């Protein structure tokens, strides 16, 4: 059987054309990343590779491309997503980490460092998923101990793998709990951080297919208006925070008024603040335990 004669640029261009025909955005980026992953090359190196490709690479590229053509996210196909300039293992048991959550972490660290907050305490990451938030905090706060919560054992396995990969497994613990339902209500934590499900259920079907068809719905669906899950755990947050402790949460751009009103109804909090993202949208909520 004759071998298929094809070079990297030929295969790349074939992939770009097919992705464009399927109306997939960033076809050039996706094709180069898929091929670069198989060749263990950077995107730039793909365009410089002038040798004939082995059939195994061509076949694997076709397989990966066929998955992308179904709108499966590139991160799931590659098994990896960059976050905070770190590679994180991901699969369809966890939400793919996003830039908005990097902003959450930037604000957490700015507030703690700007107010000379104790950086050696106990941290809680609720709904940890891939563990991205917990692991970044463990790396950025090397004296802190981070506890993670997730109801999904499969997600915990992904988070544990990432914690081990990034050398913080000895300072990150994993607890199975439906938010704070399984946690003793004692003021144990200096910092609580969460990126909860906040997509409005009624708008779920209007999301990109990559999101609505492939990412875990439990990590996205916030119920009616996107605030049902937040409403469920909001009243318990103060019970696990030490006096002076901080709570930070990523929210939807249209949820700031609801969240401010909700947490204003709890006398245990002060310093309620909403931070805007780089587009001027309110995306990060902060409260201080009185």
Q: In CATH, what number is assigned to the domain containing residue 121?
A: 3.40.50.150
Q: What angle do CA 257, 244, 166 make, to 5 degrees?
A: 90
Q: List the domain range (segments joined by +) for residue 50.
A: 8-70
pLDDT on residue 4: 60
Residue at 75 is within a domain: no
| Tokens 């915990």, located at residue | 156
Cα-trace Rg, the chain: 21
Residue 3 lies in a domain: no
- One domain for residues 157 and 240: yes
- Could you give the C-alpha distances from 277 to 102, 193, 285, in angstroms and in order? 10, 17, 11
Is 146 part of a structural domain of the chain?
A: yes
In a domain, 2, yes or no: no
Answer whether residue 78 is part of any domain.
no
pLDDT at residue 120, as a whole number: 76
Is residue 282 a contact partner of residue 250, using CB atoms and an 8 Å limit? no
Q: What is the pLDDT of residue 43?
A: 81
Q: Is there a single domain that holds both residue 187 and residue 122?
A: yes
Tell which of 19, 45, 70 closes a domain: 70
pLDDT mean values, one per 10 residues, the chain (290 residues) = 72 97 96 94 81 92 98 98 98 97 97 78 97 98 97 98 98 96 91 98 94 97 96 96 97 98 97 97 98
Residue 76 lies in a domain: no
d(CA 154, CA 158): 7
In a domain, 38, yes or no: yes
* 43 and 171 both lie in a single domain: no
Quick check: is 95 in a domain? Answer: yes
Domain total for the chain?
Answer: 2
Are 151 and 254 part of one and the same domain?
yes
- CA quadruple 117, 122, 128, 130: dihedral, nearest 10: 90
> What is the structure's pLDDT at 124?
98
133 with 30, same domain: the answer is no
Claim to verify: residue 107 and residue 40 sit in the same structural domain = no
């Amino acid at each position: 059987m004759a071998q298929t004669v094809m070079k990297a640029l030929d295969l790349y261009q074939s992939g770009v054309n097919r992705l464009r025909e399927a109306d997939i955005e960033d076809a050039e980026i996706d094709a180069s990343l898929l091929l670069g992953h198989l060749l263990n090359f950077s995107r730039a190196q793909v365009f410089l590779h002038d040798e004939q490709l082995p059939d195994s690479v061509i076949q694997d590229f076709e397989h990966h491309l066929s998955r992308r053509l179904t709108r499966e996210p590139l991160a799931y196909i590659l098994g990896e997503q960059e976050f905070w300039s770190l590679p994180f293992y991901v699969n369809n048991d966890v939400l793919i980490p996003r830039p908005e959550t990097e902003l959450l972490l930037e604000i957490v660290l700015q507030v703690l460092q700007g107010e000379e907050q104790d950086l050696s305490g106990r941290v809680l990451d609720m709904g940890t998923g891939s563990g991205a938030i917990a692991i970044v905090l463990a790396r950025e706060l090397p004296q802190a101990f981070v506890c993670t919560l997730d109801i999904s054992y499969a997600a915990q396995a992904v988070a544990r793998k990432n914690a081990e990969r990034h050398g913080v497994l000895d300072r990150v613990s994993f607890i199975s709990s439906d938010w704070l339902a399984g946690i003793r209500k004692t003021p144990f934590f200096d910092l609580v951080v969460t990126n909860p499900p906040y997509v409005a259920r009624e708008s779920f079907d209007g999301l990109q297919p990559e999101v609505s068809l492939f990412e875990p719905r439990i990590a996205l669906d916030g119920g009616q208006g996107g605030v049902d899950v937040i409403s469920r755990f909001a009243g318990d947050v103060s019970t696990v925070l030490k006096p002076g402790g901080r709570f930070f949460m990523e929210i939807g751009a249209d949820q700031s008024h609801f969240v401010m009103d909700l947490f204003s109804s709890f006398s245990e909090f002060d310093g309620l603040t909403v931070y805007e993202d780089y587009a001027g949208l309110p995306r990060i909520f902060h409260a201080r335990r009185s």
